[in-house]
Structure 1
């Protein structure tokens, strides 16, 4: 039997400590987690004709306090996970990701903003996603107000989103886009910041979860039971006066556009249609959407669809199980 001397025990302990230190260093070497964004850009629209002017609606929603942050401040208004870092898909609550940064402020009835690229300059190169270079959303803290626009960019990279008649309160502004330049070129991103609309805010309670809602005489029914963090499917059916609607017009390359906001923190999700629209043909009454909502709880869904050249927006609350 070999006897372990004090000197040998000391050497063995030192070697074990070195191995442990190297192992811990290797485990922590990849911890930046700050590059990248969504694998796809959210795509919305704002007009019945798709020209890029406002097409928002103020909808009933939930009363929650402001989520912090002010328009135009530095840093991040929220945190979001990145693909490949162990987190969920980006939830749109960050002001900066992958070297791209959103800065903006309300100016009267407009929200003016820029996206700064990894080189520190205003980004002016964008790749169209669902026919648009920029998809802009605004949502009130209680989810009662919703706007979805396609703003216009000036040559210096400043975007201007018209936001007339916003109700007083705390709003979050989202920019959804695909950079055409920089290290993240071709990768969809959703960045956001908060902005305060002055005046006496009157909170609106969030409507209870429901399977159907109405908008402009149309009835929209949503079927499906998504679970937090798991891929699933939602099926949307559109009817009017008890009859199925089959004349949905193409809108942003699909027959409907569906976005969702999480009650409380306003995490953002774009639910992608599983089929594109075919020009010259009507869509409906049933549409399938790929749904992957990262958090449990109530989500406010906004479905936009077009008939007869008019854009309709229907909203309902969906409860997502843990």
Structure 2
């Protein structure tokens, strides 16, 4: 689903929906791989030591792709601007990393820092969905999705612990909001690409579908998506033919959704308009979706039931 990568923080996450979509009933949910509820990603075990090691930024590592113009915001937490998460630098803020290559087949650490317009590492970040920075990894064929929450050292260096990566080209995204400086209160999504050496075998993107089933949960999608227009998207979650009403809070909401555009890996992030209030979410969740780019998008929805975190994947087509 298409979004731009920088927006005023309150615009997409806390204000009511824009007038064009204010009367629409919006909703989303999906279903997929399970993972431990004690972590915030599908992988956070078996990690090497040294997670708090300081970063020595090397601006040339893993260079970012050029921005994509004309990508308006979508949903909340998407960010605004013009890069759709495909740039390493925006408005003076830069994602600096130590390496453009990561090892295959074993857990790895990706060390990086966010530097501000003054060239110094940023250490003051606002909290978004209980975290000061959200970090995503995905391969160029939109497989291998990971969503983790790195550790920040006192010197401004971050360490993201990633599960084993398959050979190929990966893009790593940092989503954050400075809590001071010229970018205070503004969402950013910056990214860099890395190479994982080895024989890469691309997986074809699954065809767009109205439903998906995983871990016993079925998500059924309703709504026609059109590029450049705000549309409602409703997904109903069921299990064994019965509506699911026991979704538990995850990152202060009943679902966390990330999306990546086929081909260029443009990034989108949205989450329900309704805040979580106990272990009784579902069967429907509400989202505002404004999709600027036509084509197929791979959506990853994370939701929690009975202490288990599930990560669901679904391909949606935008006309």
Q: TM-score range by the shorter chain?
A: 0.7 to 0.9
Contact 1:71 1:193 in 2 (8 A): no
Bigger radius of gyration:
1
Matched residue, 2:283: 285
Contact 2:168 2:197 in 1 (8 A): yes
Instruction: Indicate which of 48, 58, 61 corresponds to 1:73.
Output: 61
Matched residue, 1:15: none
Contact 1:127 1:186 in 2 (8 A): yes
Tell me the TM-score normalised to structure 2 length: 0.77
Tell me the TM-score normalised to structure 1 length: 0.77
1:96 aligns with 2:65: no
Instruction: Indicate which of 30, 55, 80 corresponds to 2:42.
Output: 55
Superposition misfits of 4+ residues, deviation over 2 angstroms: 36-43, 46-52, 54-57, 70-76, 80-84, 87-90, 105-108
Matched residue, 1:133: 132
Q: Secondary structure at the match of 2:302?
A: strand
Q: Deviations over 1:215-255 (max 9, x none)?
A: 21111122211211222221121111111110000111211
Count of residues in Structure 1 that have an aligned counterpart in Structure 2: 268
TM-align CA RMSD? 2.7
Flag structure 2 segments of 5+ consecutive residues without an equivalent: 14-33, 45-57, 73-79
Matched residue, 1:299: 297
Matched residue, 1:156: 155
Contact 1:179 1:185 in 2 (8 A): yes
Q: Relative contact order (alpha carbons < 8 A, sep ≥ 6): 1 or 2 greater?
A: 2
Name the CA distance, whole Å, in 1 between partners of 2:82 and 2:229. 11
State how 1:1-322 maps to structure 2 within 5 Å: 37-40=6-9, 48-49=36-37, 51-52=39-40, 54-56=41-43, 72-73=60-61, 76-81=64-69, 90-104=83-97, 105=99, 108=103, 109-278=108-277, 280-321=278-319
Distance verdict in 2 for CA 1:88–1:123, change over 3 Å:
closer
Name the CA distance, whole Å, in 2 between partners of 1:225 and 1:144. 25
Name the CA distance, whole Å, in 1 between partners of 2:172 and 2:125. 19
Q: Secondary structure at the match of 1:205?
A: coil
Name the CA distance, whole Å, in 2 between partners of 1:229 and 1:56. 35
Distance verdict in 2 for CA 1:309–1:281, change over 3 Å:
closer
Q: Deviations over 1:87-120 (max 9, x none)?
A: 9765111111111000123555111111001110
Name the CA distance, whole Å, in 1 between partners of 2:123 and 2:67. 25
Shift of 1:270: 1.1
Flag structure 1 segments of 5+ consecutive residues without an equivalent: 1-35, 58-69
